[in-house]
Every structure is written in structure tokens, then in C-alpha cells.
Structure 1
Amino acid sequence: MTDTISAEVELGGIDPAGARIDPDSLRDVLAECDPAPLLMSLVHLTGDTALLDEFGSRLEYSRPGTHYGTPSPNALPAGQYPQDVADDIRARALEILTGSDLATQLEVPAPDLFAAMARVATSQEVDEEFIPLLREQAGFVTDERHVPVTVPPPADFEVIVIGAGITGINAAIKLGQAGFSYTVFESRDEIGGTWTRNTYPGAAVDTPSHYYSYSFELNPNWSRYYPTGPEYQKYLLDVVAKHELREHIRLETAVQSMTWSEKDQIWDVVTRDRSGAVEHHRAKAVISALGMLNSANIPDVPGLDTFGGRVVHTAEWDADVDVTGKRVVVLGTGCTSVQVVASIVDKVSALDVVVRTPHWIVPERTVVHEVPAGQRWALEHLPFYNQWFRLRSYWFASDNLYRLPRVDPEWAASHFSASAENDMVLKNAQKYLRDSFPDRPDLIEKLTPDFRPYAKRIVKDPGFYAALRRDHVSLHRASFERVTPDGVHTTTGEFIPADVIILATGFTLDFTTTIDIVGRDGQKLADVWKGGEDPRAYKGVQVSGFPNLFVTSGPNSAPNHGAGHNITSEEQVHYVVECLQYLLEHDHASMDVRPEVLDEYNAEVDKALDETVWVHTGGPVNSYYRNSSGRAIVPCPWRLVDYWTMMREPDAEDMTFVSGTGAPAEVAR
């Protein structure tokens, strides 16, 4: 991304091109570098793998997940090098880099060497099964095609993508690279998906910047360790520009319905644009990239429409809303609410936060921190520093955390927490809460959830607790009972005068059911999924009776134990392209998952989820993770490495096919 996102880094005597480096400036730069990717970069630069033995022998290695929560007094946080090792790596880097032209001696290492480097880079055991995933997700290699490519896509093999957010953009890139004709329909007036909606004050990604991006488009120039909404939107637009996708994207054009023609083996897709013009399109395959959280969840509060001031939902933010000097009431306490509160606290005259159900909140020191200039220089100029930095960002936010939401029945029988690992998260959050409000037991009580950590999304604090300590801020453990022209009446009998009401109440959950989708035999997806109440899919992507329809961000595909939506996007788009190529290679017109396979897969999903806090919450909880009957419909039960592996290519035995002539086709074995 260095050709699309400029880095403005002022570092004295350092040549921006990286040709010559002044020692005094370099010393300051290295002080801001992470020693682990710095060491890996030195190995690439010199080709000297003995550096791994020299410094790796001084590290203590652990199994993934053993350092989460509150470490013992003598333990370092996961992946952090001892100070003496870090100092010696920086000293060696100063020696090697001074006067160097930064010519790379070692390019992408072979898998065995890569595994050894990953072990030192993380100071953890890295099992062989993770190596292919890490090489791809760290940006060393692009996703490898698995289905043999001998038949190029014909010109009339048109694919329609619905949505131009992170997944739709990814699908467009990968379809284009694979040679497929495609069109992306986006109902909004700009590209970016959720980041065109979430423009409220303080809007930011709660996944690390250097990981929450495409593995094939690393960005060394993030200004913050967790990107703001506008910066992430700019990243997506830069990717679109680089890959020249605009000509394939039709903005302000909503897909209204889709009907499968068994006779023609084609989808008839109906769109309506902003002017009201209706068009019919024929597509061999359709990829829904709508995500699962699309419509603002507006609470049904009596009198809300009588309020004399401004009412605004965070998902429908109006740039004209001015909270300066105003009395503001915020409803909600999830990720969005805490960002809004921390962002506007210095502007308002009074701020009341109404909390029905608090979340577990944990400290994250880098949430609001800018990336130092030296770190940004290294990310852009040192060989493979960016890739190793990303690998570490992914590693410590992914399957390291897999055990945290899982229930240990023996432990849970005598503890509020679900397991020893889950208890570390609980104690960490409880300690942070106590330390934040040492003289406010009332706030501690109001902010303490009555369910296990991970039963709802863990929130990283961007300054919410600090805002609640301000004199003009009040917290109410209640909900809205009714709204009158001059304020809010809560369910605890309080009246809060207000000029502005901010609804930070999130989204309604839907999996493509807002579109009228009719598959084989006239069955509607909305009916099959009971209006979205009980969605079930094979691998979170395919539904029996809806051939050549691929629902990304589908049910039970979200990596809720860690990482981010970006990896799910890449896994699922890769799988879709492999499926489409499989059709071409075998002269099939369509593929459809067998009903019994779909049922068997979901039985396995439910069995695995029955071992998690998403099902056994430990207390009453209202979470979008679950439907009204308590079934977990959002989380994926597998490790990220498991899901990545199962999405490499289609399993033909799980499918039925129709040949290019319209007749049922035998499975190629």
C-alpha cells in the first residue's frame, strides 16, 4: 500500500527512500521499534539465520494462551522480549543498518525456516498446522489456488456481488484476478460498508490496525494502533483505487430480489437505483457481502418522537449534530457507546449514560495511541518488518484466545467464571474496574456485569472509565421508560433533562433476509431461516436449495474468540472462487449443498458451541450472538486455523451438481 497511502514521517537524517541512515537518527528510530519484527527484519536483511539462535536462546517459550489476563509478577506479557534482549537487538540493528542500503538477502523463507522464525518472533511454540495460515495472513504469500485452473472463466459467467464493504471489495479483487466477470451493487452512496454508516464521534475499529486489513494489501502507514473510522474508510478507498474497481461497482443501487431459474441455471437479480429505475440482471452466481449487522436498532420507547431536542442513532449519525455545551443522554454501553462517551465528554455541559446491561471492559493501552514515527518508518522501509509486525498482531489476537470462551464443566460447577482461562479475563476486568473507581463503589456495582466474560463482546476501553469520573458525567443502571419533550424518564424513576439523545443501541441482526431470495421449488431464504431467527448454513456460506448462492458473514462464521472480520472475509471469498473454478473445471452449471450434509454440519456446530459461554452465559444476557431460543447463531465454534483449513476448497461429496446441459451430474471422485 506504499503507493496509495503516503507516510509523513520526519526523522532528521534518515533518507525517506531508505538508502542511507544517519546513526544518531537511527538510534531514535530503533528505540521506537518492536524488537521482535526488528530481529526478523535483520535476518531478512543479512541472511544470517544464526541471529535466531543467538537471540532465541535467551527467550522463554510458552504455549499459546498461557499469558492472557493478569500475569504473575515475574512474567512478561505474551510475546514481549526481556528488556536486555530488546536492547541488544536494537544495538545489533544499529550496527547492521548504519550506512546500509537495506538490500534484502533473504526473501520469503521456506516453511521450515519460517516456522523457526515465527517461534522466535512470538516467543511461543508455533505448531506446524499454523504455518500455511501464518504465511498467508502475515502477507508473505497470497492465497494459493487449490482447484486446478485449466479452464478460464467464459465471458458470460457473470457473478454479482451484493455490498461494497470489506468483503465485497475483497470479492471484487479476487474474482477479477481469477478472470471472472462481475458487478458489485451497493445501496449506499459510497464504498466502505459499515464505515460509511458509522461516522459517529469516536468511531473506530476495535481490532488492531496492522491486522484489520487485507493480508495482500498491508498498510505500513496507519497513524494509530487501532484505526479511526475515517482512516479505515480511506484505506478501503485506496485499495479500490489501486485495483481499479470503481468501474465494476454500481453505487446507490439496491438488490431487491433474486430468483433461481432451475431451467436456465441462473439467478434473476432485480435492482432498483436511487432514481427508482428497476433492472433485471442474470448471474451464474451471487455473493452476498452484506454482513450481518445492517439496520439501526431503534428502541421502541414511548414518546421518543415527542422529544423537543435532537435524537440521533449512532448508525445514522448526522454531521450537523452539535453537542457542544449541551445536556446529552447516551443509551447503551457497548463498543459504540464507550467510544462516543469518551469522544464527547469534553464538549458537553452534562452527560448522562444510561446502561441497561454493562459489558466487561478491559484495558488496552494502545487503543488510543498513535504509531510512533520510528515505528512507521520501520514498517515502511525495513525488509519484511511490516509482515512480522502483522504476524504478531494476528497471533496474539487469534487462536491464542480460543480457550477463553470455552466452558470447563468441573471449574464452572464451583465458579462464576467458565474456566481457569476465562477466570483470568474476569479478574483482569474486575481489577481494572476497581482500580478505575477506588472511591466509587456505586459505579463499580453499576458497571459489574452478571454474566461470564465473552458471553457478550469484550470492550476495550478508549477512555470510557476516565470519562465517568468527571463531575459532569452520571451513570444510570436503567433503561428508557419514556421520553418527554424535555428529557428522559428511566425505568428506575429518574428524570434526566436533555437537549440531545444519542442511541448507541447497535444494529438488528440479519443474514441477507432483507432481500427477497427465492431458490429451488419456490422456497424463500427468509422462510427457511424463519425470518432470520434461525439461520443455518454449511460452513457459514451455503444453504441447501439455493444453488450458486454464497452468503458471506453467514451464520456461525464469526471468529468471536479473537481476530477480526477481515480473516473471515478472506477465507470465505477464497472458498467461493474455488467453488466457481470447480464448476468450470467439471463443466457443471451449479452446485448445491446436500440437505443432510447441511444438517450434519450444523449438528456439529451446535455440539461444539454447547461447550462455550455463548450458550452457557452464567447469567441473564441479551446478546446478538444468540436468537430468542438461546441458540448461538453468530459465533464460529472452530479455531481460526481449523476454519481456514476447511475453506481451502470445496468437498465435492458434500454437494449435488447440475451439468452444463441441465442434467444432474455425478460427483467427480
Structure 2
Amino acid sequence: MSVRVDHDLVIVGSGFSGIGMAIAAKNRGRDFIVLEKSDEIGGTWRDNRYPGCECDVPSHLYSFSFELNPYWSKAYATADEIQDYLLYCVEKYSLREHIRFGTSVERMTYDEGLAAWHLTVSTGTGEVRQLVAGAVALGVGALHEPVIPQLPGLESFRGELLHTAAWDPGTTVVGKRVGVVGTGCSGVQIIPPLAEDARHLTVFQRTPAWVLPKVDPAYPDWLIDQYEKRPWLMKAHRTKLRAAGDVRVGAFTKQPAALKAASKAAVAHMRSAIKDPQLRAKLTPDYTMGCKRATMSNSYYPALAADNVTVETSPIKQVDAGGVTAADGTVHELDLLVFATGFDVTGSYRHLNITGLGGHTLDTDWADDIRTYYGVTAPGYPNLFFLLGPNTVLGHTSVVLMIEAQIGLISKLLDERDERGATAVQVRPQIVPAHMKRLDERSAKSVWESGGCTSWYLDDEGRNRMLWPGSVGEYERKLSRPELVDYEFTGSVS
């Protein structure tokens, strides 16, 4: 490859995707680096450290298949435990020497003559540098760019203002009047610990969540010891968890009516904790379970029923120096306002300013509709790969399974490119429309598009552009045995 290329592969991001891709690249002997804008690895699990932050996927399934962890403390791991696991992987596979911390990608432009990407990167010291990469793998994730609602008067608020993804660990709510905007997954998790300590907590709810009981037992020492000494037991447990997760996908994608039993369990769960009929009415969803991501908690409903908690369903009309005024005129005086409002799921790519073949920009190409091939490659962007990209997030099981399948495909495509003596690989543009049409047809039958709600799963036109509308097993089969005719291998090594 040309000496003008600095690295064979540049990986952007050091969460699960970036770390997994780095391990694969190292195992294959590739020359690579990882660019990480922060001063530590971890991605989502580095940034989201708010009180109560946990994973809603079973611990033993939320790990790399080649690096199982017998030491999870309970069924659903906390953010701290997951971050510790990722740190362990970085040290075990000696990745730290390949990571460039405090380095943000400002722009990426494809050079067709060189068959490489020019990256403009900035460091924490303000230095701007240029890098040339033979290929780029984007592990920036969808849960990366926090959404701050554009509320009238927000700039005038004199209290503390935080997003759950940027929680200050020194923050205390003891004796404070606290407001939380949002009742999705992060809201359901953070509200109980805030309610426990706050003088008063106001929950600003736009749409009630489906909340199921959480079966989250601690793993006893004897079981951890067994998993450590007999890894096959741990693998069997993981296999069972995986099978249970993939069984559920049919209810989301083909038969939403199958979710009725789970809905009844959620309603019973709410009724056991909420005795006030007016509060029950506020908290009862009017859409099909699964249309938004269902949540699990044993403390959420008891927290909302507490004497120091108010659930406000009237929309926010105005924010002023002292708090929030609802549309019905109710004034809520606040010392701290917390946004549990999720993420801009395409913003992670937008800020990279990616320009591909013919001067096309990814931001413009995806403005009307996002088009990729299995969420990994996009037409017009050779030697560029997405990890956990569009239509590859899951609502029923672990995304780490999807990440590993994508890493396998990227590795195969790069190996094939090199074995052919080519310099570039990209998906053939003509096959992508039919692929997206099939995804649209499958998604139209799903609860995400027919369940009667709006969610971050859907684009502005109501199309599912986030979730994979099928089982993990199906996705793995498609990527593990790719049809190489679907890809163009161009150029030659001089």
C-alpha cells in the first residue's frame, strides 16, 4: 500500500464496537489506531454514569463471545461493572498503545486516486492534524449525541442543568427541588434514586412507559466460582439467554398481539404499587408494548407514588430563572433540571463531516433517507464501514452479538480486498434499494411502525431506520457468508 497512507485502518470510537474491531485488527496483524475523543475508553458506559445506570440486557450476554466474564455480580450489570469489563479487555489485548486519546475527527474526505481517507483531527490541546487511512471503521454508536429539548426560556434558568449522559459525579440532590424531563429507559432508572434524596421531584412526562418487573438476582460466590472453574457452564447459560432473547423477536416484528401477556404483567406491576387511580391513569400507556423500548424496574412506580414526587403530564410551556411553567399554568420551582431525553441517533455521523465519491456528503445523502447494506456499508463510500450502524440496533437482545457479526464482515471484506490486490471495496449501489425495500416491508408489520407511538427508532417519515427487523441468528448468517458479488473491488496495488 502507498507510503502516503499513515495507517491501514483507523477505528473511530472506543466503546464495545471500537474495542472489538481493534482486537480483530490486531489478531489479523493490521496496522491500525483507535481515535477516541475522550481521555478514556468506554463510549456509552464511560459517559452514562448517572445514579441508577444499568444495562437492560443480561450481563452474561452483554460481553464478547471470545471474552466471557465469570465475575458479573448480578443478572443485569451496572455501568461501573461494564466499564471495568471494557478496561480489562483493553489491557488484556494490549490495545492502549494503539489508542489516541483526546482526538476528535473533524472531517473525513475520500481520495479516489489514493483509495484512502483523509481525516482532519483535533486534539484536546487545540492542535489540528491530518491522517490518511486505507480504511475507516466508525464505532461512534447511536447513543452518543445527547438531545437537549429546545424549551422556551431554557437559557434563563439559574439552577443546575444536566443531561443523564453528562452527569457530574459530584452532583447532590439532597434538599433540592429537582425536575426530570423524560420517562424512557434513563428516566426510569434515574428517577428512583433522585426521589429518595430530593426535597421534591417533579417528573415531566410526555408519554408513559411500559415498565415490567425486573428479575435481577445477585450471583452468589459459589456460582461465580463455578463459572470461573467451568467455563462451559457459563457458555451454556449464555446460550440459554441468547435463545430466550431471539424467541421474542417474532412478537416485535410479526405478531404484536403476542405482547398482550407481557402488557398484562406490566399493568399488574403498576397496579401493585400505584393505588391512586388518577396517577394510574397518567402512567397507563395507550400504545402497544414494544413500540417504544420497554423498560424494567422494581423501584420506578413506588418512587412515583412517594409523597415528595409529582408527575406532570401537561407540556412544558416555559422555563424561567426559577423553574418550569406547564401549559396548564402550574409553576414548578426547581433547583436542578435533569434531561433524560435520549440521543440524536444520526448526530454521531453528522459531526464527522464525511465526504465520499463525487463530492457527496453522508449528511446530504442521508438527509431524506438512510440507505446502507446491512448497516455496515453505504454506496459511494469505499473503504468505510459502520459498526452498529443503521438498522442494526436491537430491541430484544444484546447488540454485542450484532457488533461481532459486523466485525467479522468488515474483516472478511478487507482481507478479500487485499487478497485480490485491490485498493478499495464498497457495496454495489444498485443492490441497496432492493435491500432497503425488504427492510421497509418487514418493518411495516412490526410493532415499531404499527404500535401507535413515535420513538427514536423511526425517522421523520415514520420509517424504521434503527432496528434490525429479524433475529440475530439471521443477521449472523447473512454476514458470516457474504455474497461477494454484492461488493465492488476496485483499483490495484502498484
Give TM-score, length-normalised by structure 2: 0.96
Alignment equivalent of 2:57, drawn from 207, 218, 224: 207
Partner of 1:81: none
SS of the equivalent of 2:60 reads coil
Q: State whether structure 2 residue 326 is matched by structure 1 residue 479.
A: no
What is the one-letter code of the residue matched to 2:244? F
Alignment equivalent of 1:606, drawn from 425, 431, 440: 440
Please identify, of 385-394 and 187-196, the stretch whose mean Cα deviation from structure 2 is larger. 385-394
C-alpha contact 2:414 2:425 (8 A) present in aligned 1: no
Larger Rg: 1
* 1:4-15 paired onto structure 2 within 5 Å: none
In structure 1, what is the Cα distance between the partners aligned to 2:292 and 2:327? 23
C-alpha contact 2:211 2:297 (8 A) present in aligned 1: yes
Alignment equivalent of 2:78, drawn from 207, 210, 228: 228
In structure 2, what is the Cα distance between the partners aligned to 1:492 and 1:216? 55
Distance 1:595 1:349, change over 3 A: same
In structure 2, what is the Cα distance between the partners aligned to 1:303 and 1:311? 13
| Offset from partner CA, 1:338-367 (integer Å, 9 cap, x none) | 11112222211211111111111111221x
SS of the equivalent of 1:425 reads helix
Partner of 1:640: 472
Partner of 1:8: none
C-alpha contact 1:579 1:649 (8 A) present in aligned 2: no
SS of the equivalent of 1:592 reads strand
Deviation at 1:464, TM superposition (A): 0.6
What is the one-letter code of the residue matched to 2:352? I
C-alpha contact 1:406 1:422 (8 A) present in aligned 2: no
Q: State whether structure 2 residue 194 is matched by structure 1 residue 344.
A: yes
C-alpha contact 1:339 1:462 (8 A) present in aligned 2: no
What is the one-letter code of the residue matched to 1:428? A
In structure 1, what is the Cα distance between the partners aligned to 2:168 and 2:122? 25
Deviation at 1:167, TM superposition (A): 0.4
SS of the equivalent of 2:426 reads strand
Alignment equivalent of 1:570, drawn from 401, 404, 410: 404
C-alpha contact 2:253 2:469 (8 A) present in aligned 1: no
What is the one-letter code of the residue matched to 1:393? L
Partner of 1:586: 420
What is the one-letter code of the residue matched to 1:426? S
C-alpha contact 1:338 1:462 (8 A) present in aligned 2: no
Alignment equivalent of 2:260, drawn from 420, 423, 440: 423
Deviation at 1:165, TM superposition (A): 0.6
Q: State whether structure 2 residue 350 is matched by structure 1 residue 502.
A: no
Alignment equivalent of 1:556, drawn from 376, 379, 391: 391
C-alpha contact 2:253 2:470 (8 A) present in aligned 1: no
What is the one-letter code of the residue matched to 1:528? D
Partner of 1:56: none
Deviation at 1:293, TM superposition (A): 2.3
C-alpha contact 2:13 2:140 (8 A) present in aligned 1: yes
Partner of 1:317: 167
In structure 2, what is the Cα distance between the partners aligned to 1:345 and 1:212? 29
C-alpha contact 1:578 1:649 (8 A) present in aligned 2: no
| Offset from partner CA, 1:408-455 (integer Å, 9 cap, x none) | 5xxxxxxxxx32x12222222222222222x21112211111211111
Q: State whether structure 2 residue 492 is matched by structure 1 residue 656.
A: no
Alignment equivalent of 1:537, drawn from 372, 377, 383: 372
In structure 2, what is the Cα distance between the partners aligned to 1:569 and 1:654? 21
Q: State whether structure 2 residue 228 is matched by structure 1 residue 380.
A: yes
Partner of 2:243: 395
SS of the equivalent of 2:251 reads coil
* 1:62-101 paired onto structure 2 within 5 Å: none
In structure 2, what is the Cα distance between the partners aligned to 1:535 and 1:614? 17
Partner of 1:133: none
In structure 1, what is the Cα distance between the partners aligned to 2:231 and 2:122? 48
Deviation at 1:295, TM superposition (A): 1.2
| Offset from partner CA, 1:171-215 (integer Å, 9 cap, x none) | 000110011111100111110001121111111111111111111
Please identify, of 426-435 and 197-206, the stretch whose mean Cα deviation from structure 2 is larger. 426-435
SS of the equivalent of 1:656 reads strand
In structure 1, what is the Cα distance between the partners aligned to 2:398 and 2:114? 38
Deviation at 1:157, TM superposition (A): 6.2
In structure 2, what is the Cα distance between the partners aligned to 1:600 and 1:388? 38
C-alpha contact 2:154 2:320 (8 A) present in aligned 1: yes
Give TM-score, length-normalised by structure 1: 0.71
Query: Unaligned regions of 5+ residues in structure 1, if any?
Result: 1-154, 409-417, 663-669
C-alpha contact 1:222 1:371 (8 A) present in aligned 2: yes
Q: State whether structure 2 residue 198 is matched by structure 1 residue 361.
A: no
In structure 2, what is the Cα distance between the partners aligned to 1:266 and 1:330? 46
In structure 2, what is the Cα distance between the partners aligned to 1:169 and 1:661? 29
Partner of 2:252: 405
What is the one-letter code of the residue matched to 1:384? W
In structure 2, what is the Cα distance between the partners aligned to 1:236 and 1:592? 31
SS of the equivalent of 1:403 reads helix
Distance 1:359 1:585, change over 3 A: same
SS of the equivalent of 1:553 reads coil
SS of the equivalent of 1:588 reads coil
* 1:152-163 paired onto structure 2 within 5 Å: 158-163=8-13
What is the one-letter code of the residue matched to 2:322? D
* 1:61-460 paired onto structure 2 within 5 Å: 158-366=8-216, 369-397=217-245, 399-408=246-255, 418-419=256-257, 421-437=258-274, 439-460=275-296
Deviation at 1:407, TM superposition (A): 4.5
C-alpha contact 1:296 1:315 (8 A) present in aligned 2: yes
What is the one-letter code of the residue matched to 2:264? K
Deviation at 1:659, TM superposition (A): 3.2
Per chain length, whose mean CA-contact separation is higher, i.e. which structure has more relative contact order (CA < 8 Å, sep 6+)? 2
What is the one-letter code of the residue matched to 1:308? R
What is the one-letter code of the residue matched to 1:167? S
Distance 1:268 1:649, change over 3 A: farther
In structure 1, what is the Cα distance between the partners aligned to 2:234 and 2:270? 35
Distance 1:659 1:649, change over 3 A: farther
In structure 2, what is the Cα distance between the partners aligned to 1:384 and 1:650? 30
Deviation at 1:388, TM superposition (A): 1.2
What is the one-letter code of the residue matched to 1:385? L
C-alpha contact 1:198 1:315 (8 A) present in aligned 2: yes
